[in-house]
Amino acid sequence: MATVMQKIKDIEDEMARTQKNKATAHHLGLLKAKLAKLRRELLTPTSKGGGGGAGEGFDVTKSGDARVGLVGFPSVGKSTLLNKLTGTFSEVAAYEFTTLTCIPGVIMYKGAKVQLLDLPGIIEGAKDGKGRGRQVISTARTCNVILIVLDAIKPITHKRLIEKELEGFGIRLNKTPPNLTFRRKDKGGINFTSTVTNTHLDLETVKAICSEYRIHNADVSLRYDATADDLIDVIEGSRIYMPCIYVVNKIDQITLEELEILDKLPHYCPISAHLEWNLDGLLEMIWEYLDLVRIYTKPKGLNPDYEDPVIVSSKRKTVEDFCDRIHKDMVKQFKYALVWGSSVKHKPQRVGKEHELEDEDVVQIIKKV
């Protein structure tokens, strides 16, 4: 383990020493690829013995419709926030590292069950396996939204540190997957095409990065000005793109002027967990970032059940996905569905299982006899 850590440190030092210009772009690309490979080794050690296995999470059973993780340094008020939002008791004290394992709580919001995970405090260097960092972050990878809890009194540099730790683990915050295609082939060398002018990548750099992964034949086509990091992300393929909200806690202890400066941060929500300020605003924001669709069921001859909606993701919201959420054998008996709501023109309308539903539609499934 120490040797991998040492290698990572050496490469980071060399990257810090190297000037960034066109002549060194190729060399830096190589170093970045090496770094990404070493980071992956840290997360999933290749040897059988020692190293405590891969970065296994704290085993928390996934429950509810979505998962939200609270990530932050020790003593920024993650546990207090969890207690106020969910009513679960997570130990709170005035010293650092009070929470040592992962504590789940459930919020009922707009008919959806949202599971909140209070993860232990991250310390700097978690991505290199310090503290409980590896477990914390591998659990964070399974969440749908991450809340980075920051302390309004402590400096904003914490935000950058936590982002760096999460980036090192292949979690990309508030980003979309890079718009470039990478296709391996059997022969023909590296083929590099681009629809825009590239300031970061050229054929040499692409070849260098590919050869580091022992890929000698591939098509790489860019549709925007991509960086070396984007290409490495696509080749590695284990990256997770995740929405993230910066929750600035303890705003009762700062002045209004400071709050107005903080207000310029994107994806940001000010709260005071202890005094319960703006927790509704936070919940509303979590709901918006989770991007869920509520669908109500209607039994034949009865009124729709508005109490208990079926929750599906907005990326997979066809009638078939809706049936899968209820029971996996339901699609086999599916004949057609009647839908009331904004996704159809007529009320009700007969639709097949490819039809995409909208938020708060009412669905009645008609089965084959």
pLDDT by residue (tens digit) across 44-59?
655 554 444 444 546 6
What is the average pLDDT across 160-184?
Answer: 83
Decide if 26 contacts 208 (C-beta within 8 A): yes
> In this predicted structure, what is the pLDDT of residue 64?
77
Is residue 34 within 8 A of residue 214, CB to CB? The reply is: no
Cα–Cα distance, 295 to 363 (Å, whole number)? 7
Mean pLDDT on 293-306? 87
Cα–Cα distance for residue pair 225/221, rounded to 1 Å: 11
HSE value, Cβ hemisphere, 13 Å, CA-based, for 250: 15
94: pLDDT strictly greater than 60: no
C-alpha neighbours within 13 Å on the C-beta side of residue 144: 22
CATH topology of domain 66-174+240-290: Rossmann fold (3.40.50)
pLDDT of residue 44: 66
CB 53 within 8 A of CB 138: no
Q: Using 50, 70 and 90 to split pLDDT, how confident is the model at 260?
A: confident
pLDDT tens-digit map of 211-239 = 888 888 888 888 888 888 888 888 888 78
- CATH class given for the domain over 292-367: alpha beta
- At residue 121 the predicted structure's pLDDT band, cuts being 50, 70 and 90, is low
The one-letter code for the residue type at 212 is E
> With contact defined as beta carbons under 8 Å apart, do 337 and 350 qualify?
yes
- For the chain, residues classed under CATH 3.10.20.30 are 292-367
Cβ-contact 103, 82 below 8 angstroms: yes
With beta carbons less than 8 A apart as the criterion, state whether 126 and 226 touch.
no
| 3-class SS of residue 81 | helix
Give the tens place of pLDDT for each residue, 36-46. 888 777 766 55
Tens-digit pLDDT profile for residues 135-152: 777 777 888 888 888 887
According to CATH, where is 3.40.50.300 located in the chain? 66-174+240-290
**Mean pLDDT score of the chain:** 80
Residue-level pLDDT at 239: 84
